[in-house]
Amino acid sequence: MGLYNLLLVELECPRCRANAMCEVEFKLGLLDLRRYRLGDALRWAGGYRNKPPRRPDGGTADGEGHTECPHCGKDFWVHVYVREDQISEAKPEPDRPGYIA
């Protein structure tokens, strides 16, 4: 399994509709298992052997994340938004099926 980062964010599960604090695994910025919250600055680089993608122009990028609802145990996808190097938003993707039936 490759490296990723974690975004701790409250989301509504698209499967059971419960609001819960979720740990979203996402692959943006320097992938070093760092924990982030909304509003945190995303780290793009830092002297590691495996070079991460370079910082995009303006520090703006979108990516996908994946999480599991702590209430129902079902997984779902999350769209993660980074604007000017800050994690600005995370939205569940209700139309995209998870791995757990």
Whether 86 is covered by a domain: the verdict is yes
Backbone angles phi and psi of 95, in degrees to 5: -85, -10
CA angle 40, 24, 26 (to 5 degrees): 75
**How far is 19 from 77, CA to CA, in rounded Å?**
15
Tens-place pLDDT, residues 54-65: 788 899 999 999
Give me 29's structure tokens: 């910025």
Whether 101 is covered by a domain: the verdict is no
Whether 79 is covered by a domain: the verdict is yes
Whether 78 is covered by a domain: the verdict is yes
Tens-place pLDDT, residues 12-49: 999 999 999 999 999 999 889 999 999 999 999 765 55
Closest CA to 90 of 3, 13, 2: 13
Domain count, the chain: 1
Whether 97 is covered by a domain: the verdict is no
Strand ranges in the chain using DSSP code E only, listed in sequence order: 5-12, 19-26, 35-37, 61-68, 75-83, 86-92
Whether 51 is covered by a domain: the verdict is yes
Whether 61 is covered by a domain: the verdict is yes
Q: Which domain holds residue 46?
A: 5-92
Question: pLDDT confidence of 2, banded at 50, 70, 90?
Answer: confident
Q: pTM here?
A: 0.89
Whether 98 is covered by a domain: the verdict is no
